Amino acid sequence: MLHRFANPTRFLRIASIAQPWIAWATILLAGTGLYLGLFNSPADYQQGESVRIMYVHVPAAWMAMFCYTSMAIAAGIGLIWKHPLADIAAKATAPVGACFTFLALFTGSLWGKPMWGTWWVWDARLTSMLVLLFLYLGYIALINAFDDPARGTKSSSILVLVGLINVPIIKFSVDWWNTLHQPASVLRMDGPSIDESMLWPLLLMALAFKTYYIWVLLVRIRAEIISNKIRILRLRQVHG
Amino acid sequence: MNGFMTVLKRDLHLAIRQGIDSMTVVMFFVLIVIIFPFGVGPEPNILARVASGVIWVAALLASTLSLERLFQIDYEDGSLELLSLSSVALEVIVLAKVTAHWLTTGLPLIITAPLLAVLLNMNKEGLLVLILALVVGTPSLSLVGAVGAALILGARRGGVLLALIILPLYLPVLIFGVSAVDAIINGFEAKAQLLILGAFFLAALPLCTWAAATSIKQAIE
């Protein structure tokens, strides 16, 4: 199964077929989600209209964590099975994940000003997101710091795996340090605690963010494979 | 065990012969702490409030500063490659080098810390817990830092890069190190925080040794 898709040429063929479908799915999902969220859902009885920031903030925060986990899984596969596509996927995920993390922090800050009366608090969730952003940035800096791209990929794969073990510990210690952010209200054992009229646009937006991620990931992986090919051709020209 | 002692002795010899290296780290540590009163003002109660945090942050920075050279010199002159070819497992060599690093930088920091605590007006109970926390916490710093030092082998701008990838990972040690001292100063027990620091060390011991050895392997292959 793994080796069937290990072939970059086969991947490129499948990706070029899948990409327009995923792009359209993203546009449709984001369009419906934004319409429902911005025009067709009630304002919160406490938070008023500013609750609509949630439809961007919460999916971005979910994606920030999702991207880090998928990056770690891809890096692990790349290290263990020397799977070239997995390495490329990990590398391609990092900037997307960093952007989602930044988006979550930024919208959270905009939301915090009217709700808590401040742009930033050193609260556990905010702080752990900030640390996550720096883990992403450290990864991107490390992967680009080597003259030999293969070295950069391996080094940064180890870094992501070390980070993956450390992220829960950081999360736990930061939680212990200070907590103000509201607890999770969607992913709970006894069902979501928010109203259906808000839950639907939120879930649509979450799906839209996910398909957007896959879309960008496909584009980036294709670009990476092509640039690798160009580099190899150039090297061959030089040596030939 | 023999290989461990040999590498440890070699690194300690090198550190003592060169001498200046571990002294620089201690001076850097002292200087950061001394600079703080100029920044936040000399009022004794403010200084006492931030003392544990300042000392911990200074210890983190000092340890990051010294870590860059942990494997770099041996990597550049090729002795790391020779060491990896020996019959001793690379993990053992890493552990020996980390121990040597802690003995030449962590330990001097712990010895200097009481002096700085006095300068920052920290009380006696706080000082005792601070020393305990540093004793349990700084080995973790050396271990986690060793992974970073191994990852940046052969990279451009190694030093700054090392700080960027290592400082976020140091966060748990910093949080529990500082809160142990804060707890005892405010009249609570500090046992829980110290135990968590110990747990972090015990988890870092195998994981970081292994991760650092893996990174070195792929750096010299």
Find chain B residues with C-beta within 8 A of A177's C-beta. 175, 179
Residue A2 lies in a domain: no
Chain A contact for B172 (CB, 8 A cutoff): yes
Give Cβ neighbours of residue A106 (< 8 Å, ≥ 6 apart): none
- Chain B nearest-CA residue for A149: B155
More confident residue, B217 or A3: B217
CA distances from A88 to A92, A153, A162, A217, B217 (A): 6, 8, 19, 10, 21
Q: What is the DSSP string of A43-96?
A: PBTTTBGGGGGHHHHHHHHHHHHHHHHHHHHHHHHHHHH--HHHHHHHHHHHHH
Residue A232 has what pLDDT?
Answer: 87
- Which of B155, B179, B196 lies at the smallest CB-CB distance from A145? B155
pLDDT band per the 50, 70, 90 thresholds, residue A192: low
Residue A189 has what pLDDT?
Answer: 53
What CATH number is attached to the domain comprising A226? 1.20.120
Residue B159 has what pLDDT?
Answer: 79
User: What radius of gyration do chain A's Cα atoms show?
Assistant: 20
Contact B168 A131 (CB under 8 A): yes
pLDDT band per the 50, 70, 90 thresholds, residue A12: confident
- Chain A nearest-CA residue for B220: A151
Give mean pLDDT, residues A36-61: 80
If you search the block for the tokens 């002159």, which residue do you land on?
B77
Give the pLDDT confidence of A136-190 residue by residue, as tens digits.
999 999 998 888 888 888 899 999 998 888 888 877 777 777 655 565 666 555 5
* Count of positions (residues) in chain B: 221
Residue B22 has what pLDDT?
Answer: 72
- Chain A nearest-CA residue for B148: A159
Contact B164 A161 (CB under 8 A): no
Residue A10 lies in a domain: no
Contact A137 B214 (CB under 8 A): no
Give the pLDDT confidence of A91-146 residue by residue, as tens digits.
999 999 999 999 999 998 888 888 878 888 887 778 888 989 999 999 999 998 88
Residue A89 lies in a domain: yes
- Which of A137, A142, A173 lies at the smallest CB-CB distance from B175? A173
Q: How far is B199 from chain A (nearest CA, A)?
A: 11
Q: What is the DSSP string of B2-45?
A: HHHHHHHHHHHHHHHHH-HHHHHHHHHHHHHHHHHHHHH---HH
pTM of the model: 0.87
Residue B188, SS3 per DSSP: coil
Pure H helices in chain B:
2-18, 20-40, 44-67, 69-76, 79-85, 90-101, 107-119, 124-151, 158-185, 191-220
Residue A116 lies in a domain: yes
Residue A3 lies in a domain: no
Chain A contact for B53 (CB, 8 A cutoff): no
Between CA B51 and CA B57 the distance in angstroms is 10
Task: Please say whether the beta carbons of A6 and A83 come within 8 A.
Answer: yes
Residue B189, SS3 per DSSP: coil
Q: How far is B207 from chain A (nearest CA, A)?
A: 8
Which residues on adjacent β-strands are paired with residue A44? A48
Residue B186, SS3 per DSSP: coil
Residue A9 has what pLDDT?
Answer: 80
pLDDT band per the 50, 70, 90 thresholds, residue A5: low
Residue A189 lies in a domain: no
Find chain A residues with C-beta within 8 A of B158's C-beta. 145
Residue A11 has what pLDDT?
Answer: 83
Contact B147 A173 (CB under 8 A): no
Find chain A residues with C-beta within 8 A of B147's C-beta. 158-159, 162
Find chain A residues with C-beta within 8 A of B211's C-beta. 158, 161-162
- Which of A141, A163, A173 lies at the smallest CB-CB distance from B176? A173
Residue A96 has what pLDDT?
Answer: 94
- Which of B151, B168, B200 lies at the smallest CB-CB distance from A158? B151
Between CA B73 and CA B68 the distance in angstroms is 9
Range of the domain at A205: 25-182+195-239
Chain A contact for B35 (CB, 8 A cutoff): no
Contact A151 B218 (CB under 8 A): yes
Contact B172 A141 (CB under 8 A): no
Residue A3 has what pLDDT?
Answer: 63
> What tokens were used for B123?
């009380």
Residue numbers in chain B where pLDDT is lower than 50: none
Residue B58 has what pLDDT?
Answer: 93
Residue A216 lies in a domain: yes
- Chain B nearest-CA residue for A131: B168
Residue A183 has what pLDDT?
Answer: 59
The ipTM assigned to this model is 0.86
Residue A228 lies in a domain: yes
In this complex, how many residue pairs, one in chain A and one in chain B, have their CB atoms less than 8 Å apart?
Answer: 80
Residue B88, SS3 per DSSP: coil
> What tokens were used for B98?
């980390």
Count of domains forming chain A: 1
